A and B are shown apart, each in its own frame.
Chain A
């Protein structure tokens, strides 16, 4: 399995479940999928990374791009279910200071 992306919409919450590895090879697919999301002030976009087994800086770049788009449109973005390894990437880059991140939290 390389990378699979699934969407679930309930009322104003869009949950995005990402499974697999995010690297140079798979990041364009992730970027394309995330760019297709309609951002609005009323909507919460929740990215569930609990099934992400590997991520490099390309992956971080994709999430930063989404974060910038969401911020520009006054939308809401939350990252949930991060494993310790993935969370560390957000910590050492300082992104955890900016982004709304929940470690290990599960989307119901």
Chain B
């Protein structure tokens, strides 16, 4: 089973759509309610970041299978301004917005990777695996 879902993020309602798809996909994979909530929260954060900073972007959700393990990956790509100070946005003590921010996303998921090309865009990739 391999599934790839792509959601264009442009408005607030796209965030809701992304949340729904993330919840359904993580439920299909077998994540419990708590992990489903973690995944949904993480996707909310990165979708919100797209709208706040890049205005438009694409989120791709994929079901992962490796060594008899199942998981989910979420990839967000935008052509916004990029992140100049990656260390600062990952710093737990430096939260500015209302949400959990990227440190929150990192805690909710198993891994988080940020690629920022300043002035050109940002790519965020995260995974969570079934235990």
**Of B115, B118, B119, the contact of A6 (CB 8 Å cutoff):** B115
Q: In the assembled complex, which residues on chain A have CB atoms less than 8 Å from the CB atom of B113?
A: 4-6
Q: In the assembled complex, which residues on chain B have CB atoms less than 8 Å from the CB atom of A97?
A: none
Taking a contact as CB atoms under 8 Å apart, the answer to whether B87 and A48 are in contact is yes
Also in contact, A7 and B112, with CB within 8 A (given A17-B87, A107-B87) = no
Taking a contact as CB atoms under 8 Å apart, the answer to whether B106 and A4 are in contact is yes
Interface residue ranges of A1-36 to B (CB < 8 Å): 1-10, 15, 17, 19
Range of interface residues on B (Cβ < 8 Å): 10 to 19
Taking a contact as CB atoms under 8 Å apart, the answer to whether A2 and B111 are in contact is yes
Task: Report the nearest A residue to B112, measured CB to CB.
Answer: A4
**Of B106, B115, B118, the contact of A10 (CB 8 Å cutoff):** B118
Shortest Cβ distance from A4 into chain B, in angstroms?
A: 5
Taking a contact as CB atoms under 8 Å apart, the answer to whether A8 and B106 are in contact is no
Taking a contact as CB atoms under 8 Å apart, the answer to whether A7 and B115 are in contact is yes
Not counting A7-B116, A8-B115, a sample of 9 additional A-B residue pairs whose C-beta atoms are within 8 angstroms of each other reads: A5-B113, A6-B90, A6-B113, A6-B114, A6-B115, A8-B83, A8-B114, A9-B118, A106-B87
Which residues of A line the B interface, CB within 8 A?
Answer: 1-10, 15, 17, 19, 48, 50-51, 106-108
